[in-house]
Amino acid sequence: MFAKKYVFETRYTRSKRLVRNVFLAIIATGLASTLLTIYLPIYAQKQKEASSKAFFQKAPDVIAVFTGDGGRIEHALKLAEKHPSAKVFITGVYVKNNLKTLLESQGTNLSVEEYLEQESHHIEIDYLARNTVENGLATLHYAQRLPAVKDILVISSDYHIFRVNLIMDTLRSSGQNYSFHYDAIESDYTQWRNIKILMKEVYKLLKTSTFLLFWDKESPIPH
């Protein structure tokens, strides 16, 4: 498709072929981006359904929340009430927040005081992560400090789940036997804000995929 058409090319034929190839590349990129934009929420929904089945009669060992958009922490705290044996790890929290301020803004079935008394012993907050890769590294570091961790349930928004899955599968070293599961916060795509976020996520996914190509899977998780 992109090969030379003429044996002896002139400047005109070279320019014509270049314009055609650029046009076809733009069309192919646009089509691929559109299909990926449609697929991301569908993929997240399938992951959510799989996690619901996996933890129907058992609890995850760790519930990890990748902060960044609304509803994630609230959903994780409700799951923590449902699975009281699970450890909760909230990564990427703004430095001025703490568990009390997060609870006051999220709302749970318990009052803030009751929740702090009954649940805070198995909740840990990470303030250092600044992006999804660092969220993943912080989660793996946290899991390494706990005994007998196998099942890790990661909470994020639906548009984010595919990239999170890609990152966690890449960061996990060959000696780690964690099973990652994903629960997605559904976005309302009748709102233009969420459509723009979804479109931007496609760009982030391509950028992250390029970065992860050069990631050394055998590198130790930094402390």
pLDDT score of 175 = 61
pLDDT score of 64 = 97
pLDDT score of 120 = 63
What residues have CB less than 8 Å from 207, skipping those under 6 apart?
A: none
H helices within 55-160, ranges in order?
A: 72-82, 99-106, 112-119, 132-144
- 168 contacts 180 by C-beta, under 8 angstroms: yes
If you write DSSP's letter for every residue of 32-81 in order, what string do you get? HHHHHHHHHHHHHHHHHHHHHHHTSSS--SEEEEE-SSTTHHHHHHHHHH
Q: What confidence tier does 174 reach under pLDDT thresholds 50, 70, 90?
A: low
- 63 contacts 86 by C-beta, under 8 angstroms: yes
Q: Where are the domains of the chain?
A: 11-212
pLDDT score of 115 = 63
pLDDT in tens, 33-43: 788 899 999 99
Among 56-60, 109-113, 118-122, 175-179, top mean pLDDT goes to 56-60
pLDDT score of 35 = 83
- 131 contacts 156 by C-beta, under 8 angstroms: no
More confident position, 128 or 77: 128
pLDDT in tens, 195-223: 999 999 999 998 898 888 877 655 544 44
Which residues are bridge partners to 183 per DSSP? 155
pTM of full prediction above 0.85: no
Distance of CA 205 to the CA centre of its chain: 10
Q: Is 87 left (phi over 0), alpha (psi -120 to 50) or beta?
A: beta
pLDDT score of 201 = 94
